[in-house]
Amino acid sequence: MKDLNEIINTLINEVGIHFRQAIGIFESFFSSYAETERLLGICVKHLDFISIQKHAHQLKGTAANLRIPHISNNASLIESAAKENNTELCLQYIQTISGYISLLESQMILYKNIYKLKILIVEDNFVSGKLLEQIIINLDHHSLGIISSSEQVLLSVKKVLPDLIFMDIDLSTEMNGIYTAELLSGYYSIPVVFVSVHADESIIKTAKNYGIGYIVKPYTPKEIEEMIDLAGIKIANFERTIKTNETKLKIKNDNKIFFINLEEVIYFEARAHTILAYTDYNTYKLSTSLKELKALDVNNYFIQPHRSFLVNRTYIKELINDNYSYQIKLKCSSNIVPVSKNNVKMIKTIF
């Protein structure tokens, strides 16, 4: 049987509706099913098998439209049982559907709580920031406030842990929104939506590496809602992902293939077209990229102090300063990992 998350994602992908619309449709279905269940019960009591077939057929069509095969299949079985005047089987399949509906309703409560996102706004224009904040509140989500500078972002993110960030690209500080999002991606798995007056293809292409969406000013509430819907789906899928087994890395070494856990790696280093993975017992060569490895890190083990390194935060011993050059000292390795000048302030915040 599919759970609610799978059903909603299937409906969204196949029908092309938005997340909030899907939530409303399923809530209406759950509410209307109570009446369908009542009518089926009356028909069974009075042995009205013609009416049972009619209600079961309608339920089968609705469930099929909503992409809920378990309900549509059981509704079809009710139809067949009614044609044979089999009361016992009718009741059995009705109870099966009712139990599944109850399960989906309980999942809906949890799903809606996940979907109420905590959203941080990074915008140096106060009026624009307040406008976006009001749209977010009107959509029944939580605003975590408005930040006007990139330097404050990591401090705020560490403190309030947002579910989603709306990031203005043209910040009036040294770092723009894209670079700020790039830094964030080294420490957190938080969806970022970029907001800008620019519709330049090269800017959009760069932004896509660090965000889930891009909105050009002036935007509409519907565009904001669509981006929040997209983030809600990604968060729900992320919650499911972190419940799975530990991430494995495929290693080819001396004509052998084996797997190691991602969290066993102390750090990764990019050298030319090769990635070196250092563990406390060996060093391996990987045919991948740091970007792909970051995407695998769903449990947020790694930070990126330098563009050529990913470091497992659980193996960090201390941050050392040698003639204004910062480096990370590790617990299980004599190697030293450099920290780029642009990342020093961010690394200090982490420490």
What token pair was written down for 36? 């369908």
**Range of the structural domain that residue 73 is part of:** 4-115
Residues 236 and 123 placed together within one structural domain of the fold: yes
CATH code, domain with 56: 1.20.120.160
Q: Does one domain contain both 12 and 58? A: yes
Tell me which of 115, 149, 177 is where a domain ends.
Answer: 115
The CATH number of whichever domain residue 297 belongs to comes to 2.40.50.1020
d(CA 26, CA 41): 22
Domain boundary among 96, 115, 134: 115
Residue 174 belongs to domain with CATH number: 3.40.50.2300
Q: What are phi and psi of 273, to 5 degrees?
A: -105, 20
Mean pLDDT of the region 199-222: 88
Q: Would the pTM of this model clear 0.75, i.e. be above it?
A: no
Q: How many CB atoms lie within 10 A of CB 74?
A: 23
76 falls in which pLDDT band (50, 70, 90)? Answer: very high
Q: Tell me the C-alpha distance between 55 and 34, whole Å.
A: 12
Express each pLDDT in 158-182 by its tens digit.
888 898 999 999 887 778 889 899 8
Per DSSP, the three-state class of 155 is helix
Q: Do 126 and 222 fall within a single domain? A: yes
Q: Per residue in 28-44, pLDDT tens? A: 999 999 999 999 999 99
pLDDT, one tens digit per residue, over 125-152 is 999 999 999 999 998 899 999 998 888 8
Q: Which pLDDT does position 349 carry in this prediction?
A: 62
Count of structural domains, the chain: 3
Q: Does the pLDDT at position 224 exceed 70?
A: yes
Cα gap 86→103, rounded to integer Å: 26
151 and 82 in a single domain? The answer is no
Q: Which two tokens stand for residue 143?
A: 């605003």
Two structure tokens written together for 285: 């060569």
Co-location of 99 and 152 in the same domain: no
C-alpha dihedral sign at 32, 33, 36, 38: negative
Are residues 94 and 12 part of one domain? yes
> What does the alpha-carbon distance between residue 340 and residue 45 come to, in Å, rounded to a whole number?
76
User: Quick one: CA torsion of 330, 332, 336, 338, rounded to 10 degrees?
Assistant: -50
Distance CA 149, CA 172 (A): 7
Q: What is the pLDDT of residue 189?
A: 81
Residue 257 shares a structural domain with residue 289: yes
The type of residue at 289 is S
The answer on 160 and 273 residing in a single domain is: no
**Do 220 and 129 have their domain in common?**
yes
For 295-314, write each residue's pLDDT tens digit: 787 667 888 899 999 998 88
Looking at the fold, whether 202 and 106 belong to one and the same domain comes out as no
Domain end call among 241, 256, 271: 241
Cα atoms in the 13 Å half-sphere on the side-chain side of 128? 20
